[in-house]
Amino acid sequence: MGLEIKIPAVGESITEVTIAKWLKKDGDAVKRDEVIAELESDKATFELPAEADGFLKIRVAEGETIGIGVVIADIDGAGAPGATSAPAPSAAPATPDPVSQGEQNPQASNQSGYGGSQAGSTNTPTPAAAGSGATVEMKIPAVGESITEVTVAKWLKEDGAQVQRDEIIAELESDKATFELPAEGTGTLRHAAKEGETIGIGATIARIEGGAGTAAAPAAPAAPAAATTTAAAPSNAAAPAGASSYATGTPSPAAGKILGEKGINPADVQGSGRDGRITKEDAQNAQARPAAPAPAAPAAPAPAANPVPQAAPAASGNRVQRRERMSNLRKTVARRLVSVKNETAMLTTFNEVNMQPIMDLRNKFKDKFKEKHSVGLGFMSFFTKAVCVALKEWPAVNAQIDGTDIVYNDFCDISIAVSAPKGLVVPVIRNAEELSFDGIEKEIVRLATLARDNKLTIEQMTGGTFTITNGGVFGSMMSTPIINAPQSAILGMHNIVQRPVAENGQVVIRPMMYLALSYDHRIIDGRESVSFLVRVKELLEDPTRLLLGV
């Protein structure tokens, strides 16, 4: 009874895969960990290694779609099914034939001139690369409870480079953070995924071959040109470097369905997947080419009184377009924002704040504050403290909906929206209500630095109860921020502008800022939202209240 090869679990949300290509034929001898097939889901392409030495018996045809856990092949270690070993030639010809002259191995006539194919060869093993050790197969580790796939953001070590154990070889990017991938062994690195490719958790990303050599085993000596007239290369020989692979221009099952619905020919779509394969995203972004106009029949000459209008002149200047794949972070942000708009009863209420008292207080104490605490005194600490006080008085603004329940939080974990190089991230200040002004400023500086360096962890970006976003740093006068789910409210700050206002019957010029509070009307009523924002305004316009707790 042979060893059964089953489709492994390749991702939390993946239930079926397609046999993209069998890399070994039925009856071929295979080695343990040798890649025998390529599997394709609607998200990525995976390699299937052999689980033992023996002879391969294929059960499922190439191109068929099957579920996780289904048996697709057997490996029989007893011998080749239905075949016997071909006898090896007894000796080399006494007189070298012009075609085979230059071949040093008498068995070379049974092997491909490409140097790797075993089709039609005898069972006599070919020389292996000397000094090679065990191969370590590196797979994508689990990096978070809700993360099912990552993108190879950058290879830090080239294919074929020598690496040491624990040396960082690549950067992986999920929809929430960027991670570093260390080498799991010492040896020669072989990439199994391309830079920019998105693959599932548990998929093979690289292999580390043991041994000191960095170069591949030398190919067999090339036969003279005349040899090609008498000995054709086997049909399963590997394609030379630079040639298109079987995947080039081939759509995945999901992509093929989308293209069929759109009526688009796969030949008109540029694939961005592995080896040029057309992915689901490529199909979704593809646009049908306008049909070529049918050749018109010769028309009768138009009367001179009705001249034919001339075609519009072609546009001049730069007309270059550039297409980039969305990062996982950008795709997740887009998906969540649309989900919030569709699933919440979101409203926004506005107010304005006279920032003169806070600006006067900062100008008076900012130098002493920085000298004592080694951090600047910014506006965010005032807003964070004011928000924490108001959240204690209006707890519904600090709550969230969980199914049919409302979860009230007695603590204030304030999320601060930060524009990082790869997109918007929202790190969290834990228990902000217990921090002093300098404690808040130091935490903001720390989190912002991690965001700019793409070093924020998932734990540092989850679990907030209320969000503050400051579009004013980019010049925004007024906006309606979108709630950061599962939270129920978000406060938007804007730029400070000198505007005329009335004070005690007099028109005066004051530095004014518009505030916007977006909230989920399912849990927060208008009275609570307006009262919360008025309380924040009151605390900011008289900051001594923050110090006295009134």
521 belongs to the catalytic site: yes
Residues constituting the chain:
550
What's 51's DSSP letter?
A: S
Whole-number Å distance between alpha carbons of 412 and 414: 6
Pairing of strands 423-425, 428-429: unpaired
525 belongs to the catalytic site: yes
- 35: closest CA among 189, 206, 247? 206
For residues 466 and 397, the answer to whether their CB atoms sit within 8 Å is yes
Going 365 to 370 to 376 to 382, the CA torsion angle's sign is: negative
Catalytic-labelled residue, pool 373, 410, 521, 542: 521
| Token pair in block for residue 459 | 């734990």
Pairing of strands 168-173, 65-67: unpaired
| Token pair in block for residue 18 | 């397609």
| Token pair in block for residue 478 | 């007024």
The DSSP code sequence of 238-301 is PPPTTS--TTTTPBPHHHHHHHHHHT--GGGS---SGGGPBPHHHHHH--PPPPPPPPPPPPPP
| Token pair in block for residue 244 | 């298109």
Would you give the distance in Å from CA 124 to the centre of its chain?
45
**Which run of H or of E encompasses 530?**
helix 526-541
What is the arrangement of strands in the sheet containing 168-173, beginning at the earlier edge strand?
Answer: 178-182, 168-173, 149-155, 198-200
Catalytic-labelled residue, pool 26, 268, 410, 525: 525
| Token pair in block for residue 341 | 């708009």
**Which run of H or of E encompasses 414?**
strand 414-416
Amino acid at 489: A
Residue 383 CB partners (closer than 8 Å, separation 6+):
468, 491, 493, 536, 540
- 253: closest CA among 477, 458, 519, 63? 63
Query: So which residues are the catalytic ones?
Result: 521, 525
